Amino acid sequence: MHVVSGFEETQAFEVLRPAEQRVPFVFNSPHSGRHYPETFLAASRLDRGAIRRSEDAFVDELFSHVVPTGSPLLRACFPRAYLDVNREPYELDPKMFEDRLPSYANSRSIRVAGGLGTIARVVGEAQEIYRGRLSVREALDRIETIYKPYHQTLRRLLAETHVSFGYAVLVDCHSMPSAVRSSDGGPRPDFILGDRYGTSCAGPLVDAAAEVLRGMGYRVSRNKPYAGGFITEHYGRPIKGLHALQLEINRGLYMDETRTERHAGFDALREDLRRFAETLVSLPDAELYPDALAAE
């Protein structure tokens, strides 16, 4: 955790760019931010360990190898508990605020009901974040100054990639608690691939990703219990040559979840993910994206 005075002087996110983008892939790590504003921590009822339980800790580091091999990586510096860019821009819970929400806010989504809107109410196992209510202005400021610029940057990266290669693939990188089980009651998965039940990404690419990971000995689930959030749903348009795949990694593979520290498995997993990414970006275009290539 890094404590900062705010995001006026500290950058809220950054793009790590290769010297030359050589493949039509963009990697995104929207929940690995660990820069916590002082005012946010002061407003929270949680200690500094508990407030990090929604953080996809170190995921950006697990994928930093994609940059020298030719793919850009967009990563958040702000924490998910502060602002969640994997939500609609205005998924807000009226119970969190002193004043009335604007009419365009979506206050009835399932994610808001669970306390996990654009401005989250809880982390972990329904642990309330704030001591008291926030002003609506505070929420809107976070959305205007961080959320919208983040998505503008992501859209620009995908548009540039699409223009250069004729199609673009977004790999949205996340982690999940090790206690997560498959919805069919099977063993805990090591990875979950989310493609919004076949609507956000070319099927052969998802099949190939699963095959590569299983070939390394990992347990892989598809869409259950995570099918992909707002980013996967919003940016995945396979018919237009825009593919979005969410990748969830079991945190037990690489970190001590209680202490939010890397453990001995981190380096081995990072090497496996390097091989996974290199294999994925080198797969034959004509087999994976026939619709996109036919449209050129």
pLDDT at 296 over 60: no
Question: Any idea what the CATH number is for the domain that residue 260 is in?
Answer: 3.40.630.40
**Domain presence at residue 23:** yes
Least confident of 50-54, 78-82, 231-235: 50-54
Counting the structural domains of the chain, the total is: 1
Number of residues written out for the chain: 296
**Domain presence at residue 296:** no
**Domain presence at residue 292:** no
E strand intervals along 223-260: 242-250, 255-256
Do residues 101 and 136 lie in contact, with contact meaning Cβ atoms separated by under 8 Å? yes
**Domain presence at residue 119:** yes
Q: What is the pLDDT of residues 97-129, one digit of tens each?
A: 999 999 999 999 999 999 999 999 999 878 999
What's the whole-number average pLDDT of the chain? 94
Nearest Cα residue to 63 out of 99, 109, 107, 28: 28
How far is Cα 107 from Cα 88, in angstroms, rounded to an integer? 11
pTM for the whole structure: 0.95
**Domain presence at residue 295:** no
**Domain presence at residue 239:** yes
- Domain enclosing residue 192, as ranges: 2-286
What phi and psi values does residue 128 have, to the nearest 5 degrees? -65, 135
User: What local confidence, expressed as pLDDT, does residue 286 receive?
Assistant: 61
Q: Mean pLDDT throughout 166-192?
A: 87
**Domain presence at residue 243:** yes
Reported as a pLDDT band with limits 50, 70 and 90, residue 294 is very low
